[in-house]
Amino acid sequence: MKTDEQMFHKYTRMTLPTFQHLMDIVNPSLMKRSPRALEPEQRVAFTLRFLIGDKVPALAFAYRVGLSTVHKIIKETCDVFERLLGPIYQRTSSREEYLQIAEGFWTLWNFPHCLGAIDGKHVDAQCPPNSGTLYFKYHIRYSIILLAVCDHNYQFTLVDIGSMGKNSDAGIYGNSYLNVTNEMLDIPEGTSCLSGYTSALFFYWG
């Protein structure tokens, strides 16, 4: 499949160079001593297919492994992703980076003092045991909520994942580390981007 980059991208949702870069990071942690174990590249591709949306039975059939093995591989690989990729890609922005984002919103969109565009999205989920209606949303389904912030170039900068479906975006934001007034982020102090105007606080647009 690596000889056909278009097919490879369709299968993994990654370009081949991106996949190789990912493997350079996680390969040592996914090596197994058992000769019957799937190779690290297979384990990563396997997990990516699950994250894309493939069902566990379909993966078990495609790779000729048992259902329990599927669950084990996915958990182990995701644990490695979180442990190794988290410190690289999940850090929060610095004060200087926030100022660059605000400058980007002002330059590209004529919108001053903006640190990001924010919105929430319901993600359908199975009802957790003994949770009652905590995850029940008005669309007659159960869900968790993804609250996310993007910069002026549509790149994610902050996410809050897992809040109960019954909650509102405003309620989640008020108790989240994303809240600019909670002093959990290195938010710059208010400034004036226009000569002669008083300073104003930075904020999210949403």
Estimate the crossing angle of helix 67-89 against helix 40-52, to 10 degrees: 90
Residue 159, classed as helix, strand or coil, is strand
Contacts 24+ apart (CB under 8 A), 181-184: none
Average pLDDT over residues 175-204: 74
User: Residues of the chain with pLDDT > 70: what percent?
Assistant: 93
Q: Which of 9-23, 37-51, 63-77, 135-149 has the lowest mean pLDDT?
A: 135-149
CA–CA separation, 53 vs 201, rounded Å? 41
CA–CA separation, 43 vs 77, rounded Å? 7
pLDDT tens track for 62-106: 888 899 999 999 999 999 999 999 888 777 788 899 999 999 999
- Whether the pTM exceeds 0.75: the reply is no
Strands 114-124, 203-205: pairing is parallel
Is residue 130 within 8 A of residue 157, CB to CB? The reply is no
* pLDDT above 80 (res 191): no
Cα distance from N-terminal residue to C-terminal residue, the chain: 42
C-alpha distance from residue 146 to each of 5, 165, 203 (Å): 31, 10, 19
